[in-house]
Amino acid sequence: MADLGFSWEIRKNGDVVILHRGKRATTLRGGKASDFLDLAESGDGDAVQQELARLTGNYKRGNERHAKGHPRNA
């Protein structure tokens, strides 16, 4: 699977800032931040990228199959 363009930074206060192509997408705090860091430590880059997409809302919306056949995308 290709890189989806997500990265993250850990702040001093424990917050995790999620970046998408270098721009801030969201910030995780508390339990969500610690849950994400547990997953990130697992080392599975594809799973981490998918989770980052889910957390930011930048994930499949269900219309991808229909959009593939649209004349604009042909």
Express each pLDDT in 6-59 by its tens digit.
999 999 999 999 999 899 999 999 999 999 999 999 878 888 988 898 888 866
* Residue 19 confidence (pLDDT): 93
* Residue 7 confidence (pLDDT): 92
Q: How many domains does the structure of the chain reveal?
A: 1
* Residue 15 confidence (pLDDT): 96
Residue 64 lies in a domain: no
Residue 26 lies in a domain: yes
Residue 45 lies in a domain: yes
* Residue 34 confidence (pLDDT): 94
For residue 52, the enclosing domain spans 6-58
- What are the counts of helices (DSSP H) followed by strands (DSSP E) for the chain? 3, 3
Residue 68 lies in a domain: no
Closest Cα to residue 32, out of 50, 18, 12?
18
